[in-house]
A and B are shown apart, each in its own frame.
Chain A
Amino acid sequence: MITAIAAIAGLALVFGLVLGYAAVRFRREADPVADQVDALLPQTQCGQCGFAGCRPYAEAIAAGEADINLCPPGGQATMRSLADLLDREPKPLAPEHGVEKPRLVAVIDEDVCIGCTLCIQACPVDAILGAGKQMHTVIASECTGCELCLPPCPVDCIDMVPEPVTLKSWRWPKPGEFVFAAADAGRTSPPAAAAPRKEPVPSSEAEG
């Protein structure tokens, strides 16, 4: 009886010492959690999460003060990466903070713009070019689609438009999920069936 207790206690002591040593000896320096969370956020700086930018939101998440489903521009993908990183339950995006939308960029209607610089002051990434009483324009490649410039504009001259797709940015669509009944017939362009020509083609023959 005594020997059993002594044996178990001895094993517990040995394993405890081994684990304690390993915890110290093999410790890995990881990035601070806030940095890792910030790296996953889309940096739109729109404030839809309720914080003054992505970094404050990241810090709040790291401190456990904010939930991970408050970022609409990041969407489901970001929420899931955050859930993976922090080992929390994934949950749907909180609708009161906005809905997930495809990426939009702001465009200023130059006929209407009055040059008041209110939008320039509102843009969190300085993506609007202009000065007082000069034409304002949005640098499309820098615009994050945060929509913070829309409310301040007194003449409502800013529109959000989807980004144009180029050959470089075009993406293959994901194949349909488990197409059960309908066959992917996938006919390509049906060229008009023309009657075959009767006479041979007027061209020269290459050497045989």
Chain B
Amino acid sequence: MAAPPHLRPTTTVTRVMGDVLLALLPATVAWVWYFGPGVLFNMAVAAAVAVGCEAGCVALRGRDVRHQLADLSALVTAVLLAFCLPPLTPWWITATGAAFAIVFAKQLYGGLGFNPFNPAMAGYVVLLVSFPEELTRWLAPAGFDLAPATPGILDTLHVTVTGSLPEGLRWDALAGATPLDGLRTGLSQMRTVGEIRAAAPFGSLGGRGWEWISNWVAIGGCYLLWRRVIRWHIPVAMLLGLAVPATFWWLLDPGLHPPPTFHLFSGATMLCAFFIATDPVSAATSSVGRLVYGAGIGFLVFVIRSWGGYPDGVGFAVLLMNMAVPAIDQFTRPRTYGHAG
């Protein structure tokens, strides 16, 4: 019997996930422009492993594989994970991360909708802790005379498949620190922020090239806002949660703390604000709760970057706030019509 209502939803999970992938397209192009095709290989490996693991787990649980895979959520996790990894990551590292993200951080909790932690971040953090050297071997962006020419397709493929550089290339010539990493190293060498940022790799906002990727991610994020795939609460709260303490400390001591614009356009800030923190399954649900959740992430990112052990704290910040979500939901329960507050 067809019970009411008789109108059907216009949106589906597949459409939501599809929009997210679409929104990441400009940023992907920017990635390839500045750092070569490595990110595409990472995406391919991560996507293959993620979808394969999801299919395997779903089949083991006796559910309909085609229906479960059609929601594209595994693909989104894989793509977001690939975005966080350096372009020359060997394939087994990417595969491990994707497999952990899907199997441990998602399927073992019950699959889509049941995971308390963001799977992409869980996978990334596991890789960061297990393979610290490979995950900090970034490239210098192309087009700024900061390094010899970015490795081409074949060279990148060689590294991805074998894990070692082809003949004629050396890591110390290729690798370049990320802006956040460069800042941290410079600060530990007792240089001021102003001196550090005067160096070649740094642009007006973040690092050269890097800030453009952040821009395109933010534009993709605005596309998601316009399509109403995500709501404004988490991105705005996260960016403010990062910008406000950053401004405060920068005003306090500009020599030791970079300006808030640097924080906003470096590292994975924009990616986190629009794509990672907004993962609905692991985020808070009430509007006020989402503001608290986003602000918490922003604040934690600032704390980890300024005083923690890692140059970019997005992964840990997100996982820590994921833990707080049940409490946040409990305390920010909205008032029901007709009831007192």
- Which residue numbers of A lie inside 8 Å of B, CB to CB? 172, 178, 180-181, 184-188
Contacts and interface: CB of A to CB of B under 8 A. Distances in A.
B63 A187 contact: no
Contacts of A178: 63
B339 to A, nearest CB: 25
A122 B8 CA distance: 56
* Majority secondary structure of chain B interface residues (helix, strand, loop or mixed): loop
A186 B1 contact: yes
Interface in B1-28: 1-3
Contacts of B145: none
Contacts of B1: 186, 188
Contact of B64 (A172, A180, A188): A180
Interface residues of B, number: 7
A180 B68 contact: yes
A180 B3 contact: no
Contacts of A180: 63-64, 67-68
A125 B214 CA distance: 76
Contact of A188 (B2, B63, B67): B2
A172 B3 CA distance: 10
A154 B1 CA distance: 46
B2 A186 contact: yes
Contacts of A184: 2
B57 to A, nearest CB: 15
The 4 closest A-B pairs by CB, nearest first: A186-B2, A180-B64, A181-B64, A180-B67
A124 to B, nearest CB: 40
A181 B64 CA distance: 7
* Majority secondary structure of chain A interface residues (helix, strand, loop or mixed): loop
A181 B2 contact: no
Contacts of B63: 178, 180
B323 to A, nearest CB: 26
16 contacts: A172-B3, A178-B63, A180-B63, A180-B64, A180-B67, A180-B68, A181-B64, A181-B67, A184-B2, A185-B2, A186-B1, A186-B2, A186-B3, A187-B2, A188-B1, A188-B2
Interface in B36-66: 63-64
Contacts of B2: 184-188
Contacts of B67: 180-181
Nearest to B63: A180
A184 B2 CA distance: 8
A163 B68 CA distance: 41
Given A184-B2, A187-B2, A188-B2, 9 more contacts: A172-B3, A178-B63, A180-B63, A180-B64, A180-B67, A181-B64, A185-B2, A186-B1, A188-B1
Contacts of A181: 64, 67
B121 to A, nearest CB: 27
Nearest to B68: A180
Contacts of B64: 180-181
A90 B337 CA distance: 37
A185 B2 CA distance: 7
A32 to B, nearest CB: 32
A172 B64 CA distance: 27
A180 B1 CA distance: 18
Nearest to A178: B63
A72 B2 CA distance: 34
A57 to B, nearest CB: 37
A180 B63 CA distance: 8
Contacts of A185: 2
Contacts of B3: 172, 186
A3 to B, nearest CB: 33
A178 B68 CA distance: 11
Contacts of B68: 180
A180 B67 CA distance: 7
A185 B1 CA distance: 8
B180 to A, nearest CB: 43
A180 B3 CA distance: 18
Nearest to A182: B64
Nearest to B2: A186
A173 to B, nearest CB: 9
A188 B3 CA distance: 9
Nearest to A172: B3
A146 to B, nearest CB: 34
A151 to B, nearest CB: 41
B334 to A, nearest CB: 25
A180 B58 CA distance: 12
Nearest to A181: B64
A158 B63 CA distance: 46
B66 to A, nearest CB: 8
A187 B1 CA distance: 6
Interface in B53-85: 63-64, 67-68
Nearest to A184: B2
Interface in B102-140: none
